[in-house]
């Protein structure tokens, strides 16, 4: 296997997820066994973010077993999701680079489906920037797998790019209102806006970084993930830059990946990370005058959710997280 022949590079970042990482690796290898041609042209790159469990030892043992297929990078400090994935991306040789969380399980045929999606949607530069072809998939740059919960139900991901309206719809939970919510733009497509199982590609403004496959030429054109974002929001920011350069972003329902979720990071960290992520994205990409309004929407949303979870009498950790955000302790 030569570096020039590589089709797929799979990057898995680990941080104290030894058993889950092994499960992820086993699911990847099991899937590849059914597609020997793809297996020959696939490499796996592991980046460990200074885990305190025996993840580094496990990854080094993998590399010793198959040095041509496995690459391992062990960090002496935690670089976060973006920084660690960027290390893997810079080391990758494949035409397609798949960012895969360490708490996932690849379903049979998922990797082949992702690769075939790119192969069946070649880049058509002459059409990509025409106004009349907006909405067509003519410059496919990012493909996400369909994420599933452990019970097999669809796990929401992706949504509309952040605007004042889409942010308000999400954080004030207006998008969960029956009938009305279906027609409101929302930065997170949840509830009624969640993707349904189908055979059609679902076009999105952005998709999550849990199982995100990216054409190498996207990185060549727009650069790496923004490593100033430690975790949460880097996927939105990356897709915003990609869309600005006319790259199309889709979810492939035929490629299914179970995402355990909250394994490598707590829901409290996710809530606070999302809050900070929106503030960063607005400061980087949006008009400066909108930032005070964004802060007001986020604060009001935190207050509303703090009260809501309090009245429900459950989700104490989330309730505390929203209270701290409302009080400015983020």
- pLDDT above 50 (res 1): no
How is the chain split into domains, by residue range?
3-156+195-275, 287-326
Residue 130 banded pLDDT, cuts 50, 70, 90: low
42-48 and 8-14: which strand pairing? Answer: parallel
Gap between the Cα atoms of 182 and 133, Å rounded: 25
Segment 228-243 shows an average pLDDT of: 94
Residue 192 banded pLDDT, cuts 50, 70, 90: very low
Cα–Cα distances (Å) from 111 to 33, 59, 142, in that order, read: 11, 21, 14
- pLDDT above 90 (res 156): no
What's residue 129's pLDDT? 60
CB contact at 8 A, 237 and 227: no
pLDDT digits (tens, 9 = 90+) for 269-298: 888 899 999 999 999 999 999 999 999 999
What's residue 136's pLDDT? 77
Higher pLDDT, 269 or 128: 269
Higher pLDDT, 175 or 121: 121
What's residue 132's pLDDT? 42
Segment 12-17 shows an average pLDDT of: 95
- pLDDT above 90 (res 103): yes
Per cent of the chain over pLDDT 70 is: 91
Gap between the Cα atoms of 192 and 94, Å rounded: 37
Among the CATH numbers 3.30.530.20, 3.90.550.10, 3.30.300.30, 3.40.50.10490, which is that of 3-156+195-275?
A: 3.90.550.10
């Amino acid at each position: 296997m030569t570096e020039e022949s590589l089709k797929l590079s799979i990057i898995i970042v680990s941080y104290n997820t030894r058993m889950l990482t092994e499960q992820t690796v086993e699911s990847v290898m099991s899937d590849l066994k059914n597609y020997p041609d793809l297996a020959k042209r696939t490499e796996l790159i592991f980046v460990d973010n200074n885990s305190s469990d025996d993840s580094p030892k496990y990854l080094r043992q993998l590399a010793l077993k198959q040095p041509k297929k496995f690459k391992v990078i062990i960090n002496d400090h935690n670089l976060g999701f973006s920084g660690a994935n960027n290390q893997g991306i810079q080391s990758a040789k494949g035409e397609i680079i798949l960012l895969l969380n360490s708490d996932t399980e690849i379903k049979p045929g998922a990797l082949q489906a992702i690769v075939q999606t790119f192969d069946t949607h070649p880049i058509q530069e002459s059409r990509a920037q025409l106004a009349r072809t907006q909405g067509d998939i003519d410059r496919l740059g990012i493909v996400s797998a369909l994420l599933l919960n452990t019970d097999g139900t669809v796990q929401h991901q992706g949504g509309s790019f952040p605007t004042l309206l889409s942010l308000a719809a999400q954080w004030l939970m207006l998008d969960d209102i029956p009938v009305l919510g279906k027609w409101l733009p929302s930065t997170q497509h949840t509830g009624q806006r969640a993707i349904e199982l189908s055979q059609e590609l679902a076009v999105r403004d952005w998709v999550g970084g849990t199982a995100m496959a990216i054409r190498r030429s996207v990185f060549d054109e727009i650069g790496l993930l923004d490593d100033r974002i430690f975790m949460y929001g880097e996927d939105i920011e990356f897709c915003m830059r990609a869309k600005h350069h006319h790259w199309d972003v889709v979810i492939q329902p035929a490629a299914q990946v179970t995402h355990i979720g909250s394994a490598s990071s707590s829901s409290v960290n996710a809530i606070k990370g999302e809050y900070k992520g929106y503030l960063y994205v607005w400061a980087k990409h949006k008009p400066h005058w909108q930032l005070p309004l964004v802060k007001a929407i986020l604060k009001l949303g935190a207050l509303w959710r703090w009260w809501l979870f309090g009245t429900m009498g459950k989700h104490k950790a989330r309730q505390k997280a929203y209270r701290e955000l409302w009080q400015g302790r983020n």
